[in-house]
Structure 1
Amino acid sequence: MSSKDIALKDIFEEIPQRLSKILAPAPIKELLPTNFPSTELRVDFLARLEDESILHIEFQSFNDNNMPFRMLRYYLAIWERYPSNPIKQLLVYVGNRKLRMKSRLKLRNLTFSYEMIDIRQIDCRVLLESPDPMDRLLACLCKVEDEAYLIEKLIKTMEGMNEEERKDYLLKALTLTELRPNLRIRLTEEVRHMPIVVRPEDIKLPKRKLRKDILYRLGLEEGKHIGFQEGEVIGIEKGKQIGFQEGEIIGIEKGLLKSAQDMVVAIIEAKLGYVPEEIANRIREIKDVDFLRSLAKKLVSASEDFMQVLATELKIS
């Protein structure tokens, strides 16, 4: 199970007030067990509604051509357990690419269908105005027109929490925004100076992805809240004195420079989906850490003029 799936399941264990009203055709009466031991199946969300129907919600972060077959298997398992209750199924697509899945299966002797919604059809402001912190978290995945306002709301939500609660909430937000790379970069920039200690194991990514992660890189660069040495957390003071490169301890200047270069490359990759070789080589030629940091901030805030900012700053025609 991916970290994003875990985060979504954790959120829905607390039934977000406003989103549940949007997704559920009737008020939720009780949550139901999501595992089906006899079939080894497990659904994302299952509840009994006040009209006694059973609501099944499945979250999907990528296009899967086999989704109708999966939903049919879930339907049969649910029907076997609750044969006298009407079953309503909803697939909620949370991915970043265009939704291309079908919500209907038609075979020779069988026709089966379910409802499907792209969560980006929901205006994030509807959830941001909810008093429920979980609703505000899920707003990260919805239609966002004002990223600054969303991030402001998330930070304000964390103000009344203790340190552990803030850390858990922030990590869930960062996990969910892996699906929205541009938003994740901006969120990371805004919260990087919050007094929260984040360890490598808290960033639930495979090792090969962890070293590329923007939060991980910022920790290497700043050394204020996160320091890494062979994958372990080290003290704040040590964090200011070391850099990290392929598992070796290196000097502060070289470490900060590589971290700053990597951060710029990560931002470009998040914006474009790839990094042109000419641009990557140009960034590796830059030895001014302050310039790279300034460039990173400009690129994060750039939208339609992203390529123009990049070309101007790097002096590339």
Structure 2
Amino acid sequence: MKKDIISKELLKHIARDVARHILGIEIQENMELIDKEFTRIEKRDADLVFKNGDEIIHIEIQNANHARMHLRMHRYLSDMLFEYENLTIKQYLLYIGQAKCSMKNSLTKDDLHYRYAIIDMHTIDCETLLMSDDPSALVLTILCDFKDRDKQTVVNTILKRLRELSDDREYENYLKMVNILSTNRNLENEVKKGADMLSVDIEKTPFYQLGEQRGKQKGQKIGEHKGVLKTAITMIQEFQLSIEQVAQK
């Protein structure tokens, strides 16, 4: 997940939802997203770093296993300590990949003892997020453990709730996110089928049909007006009539 293609506001929503629903962290109203680039030998961007009261929360989102991830996370910690030595720093790696998570979550060397938390979305029960009223939390449900639930039923529930909790534009954006994440769980077909079914259901609703009917009526009236205007222009041009004379006719 690349930070440069995600708006800061969306990052803030993701940070809130991941922290609240998955990590169990109580998020304060004055939570501040920190746009931090750590540079020493090479450019390094942490995915999500935010200040929550007297704590710094660092969430790294990983789509694939990385053999030296524990070293990278320790390096992030070292850099953050330079800036926030007096605050408590908590680090989490959110693994959303398809393969089984095999990354180390600790580093022990000589007198150094370091540990961070790995949250594998494979192990999160989808029920935890499925009943959430936060759309971005619902999006993450596609990555969770469905257990013995029917895949299509769960996907349909996710999409239906997203539809209920968002307007048309927001729903399209959330649907794109679900589509992208679904590839990590081989659920592309279920998402497509669910989205198609939901679209058909919406088109059957009385309000949708009434809107379609009114739209057609409005289009018909506009067409009639255009026809009258075109006839009037023809009469003025070909018969050299005045506007008043055309109006009388």
Q: Do they fold alike, i.e. is TM over 0.5?
A: yes
| Structure 1 match to 2:154 | 150
Taking structure 1 as the reference length, what is the TM-score of the superposition? 0.54
Equivalent residues of 2:21, 2:129 under 8 A apart: no
Take 1:48 and 1:19, find their aligned partners in 2: how far apart are those partners?
Answer: 15
Question: Quick one: which of 32, 42, 48 aligns to 1:45?
Answer: 48
Equivalent residues of 1:7, 1:172 under 8 A apart: no
Question: Once the 2 structures are TM-superposed, how far is the Cα of residue 9 of structure 1 from its aligned partner?
Answer: 8.0
- Quick one: percent identity of the two aligned structures? 28
Q: Unaligned regions of 5+ residues in structure 1, if any?
A: 196-317
C-alpha change, 1:76 and 1:107, in structure 2 (3 Å) is: same
Amino acid at match of 1:136: L
Equivalent residues of 1:141, 1:180 under 8 A apart: yes
| Structure 2 match to 1:209 | none
| Structure 1 match to 2:218 | none
Amino acid at match of 2:48: F
Once the two structures are superposed, residues 264-308 of structure 1 have per-residue CA deviations (whole angstroms, 9 ceiling, x without a partner) of xxxxxxxxxxxxxxxxxxxxxxxxxxxxxxxxxxxxxxxxxxxxx
| Structure 1 match to 2:81 | 79
Equivalent residues of 1:18, 1:135 under 8 A apart: yes
Equivalent residues of 1:93, 1:116 under 8 A apart: yes
Once the two structures are superposed, residues 20-41 of structure 1 have per-residue CA deviations (whole angstroms, 9 ceiling, x without a partner) of 2244454223133132254432
C-alpha change, 1:109 and 1:13, in structure 2 (3 Å) is: same
Amino acid at match of 1:101: M
Q: How many residues align?
A: 192
Equivalent residues of 2:15, 2:48 under 8 A apart: no
Take 1:171 and 1:28, find their aligned partners in 2: how far apart are those partners?
Answer: 27
Once the two structures are superposed, residues 32-61 of structure 1 have per-residue CA deviations (whole angstroms, 9 ceiling, x without a partner) of 3132254432111122234x1211111111
Q: Secondary structure of the residue that 1:78 maps to in structure 2?
A: helix
Take 2:167 and 2:24, find their aligned partners in 1: how far apart are those partners?
Answer: 35
| Structure 1 match to 2:26 | 27
Q: Which has the higher helix share?
A: 2
C-alpha change, 1:106 and 1:37, in structure 2 (3 Å) is: closer
Matches within 5 A, 1:1-317: 11-15=10-14, 19-24=18-23, 26-29=25-28, 30-36=31-37, 38-39=39-40, 40-50=43-53, 52-145=54-147, 146=149, 147-156=151-160, 157-159=162-164, 161-181=166-186, 183-192=187-196
C-alpha change, 1:61 and 1:148, in structure 2 (3 Å) is: same
Taking structure 2 as the reference length, what is the TM-score of the superposition? 0.67
Take 2:55 and 2:130, find their aligned partners in 1: how far apart are those partners?
Answer: 29
Equivalent residues of 1:9, 1:44 under 8 A apart: no
Amino acid at match of 2:143: L
Q: Secondary structure of the residue that 2:101 maps to in structure 1?
A: coil
Once the two structures are superposed, residues 185-217 of structure 1 have per-residue CA deviations (whole angstroms, 9 ceiling, x without a partner) of 21112224766xxxxxxxxxxxxxxxxxxxxxx
Take 1:2 and 1:46, find their aligned partners in 2: how far apart are those partners?
Answer: 14
Question: Once the 2 structures are TM-superposed, how far is the Cα of residue 87 of structure 1 from its aligned partner?
Answer: 0.9
Equivalent residues of 2:62, 2:93 under 8 A apart: yes
Higher relative contact order (CA 8 A, sep 6+): 2
Root-mean-square deviation (CA, aligned residues, Å) is 2.8
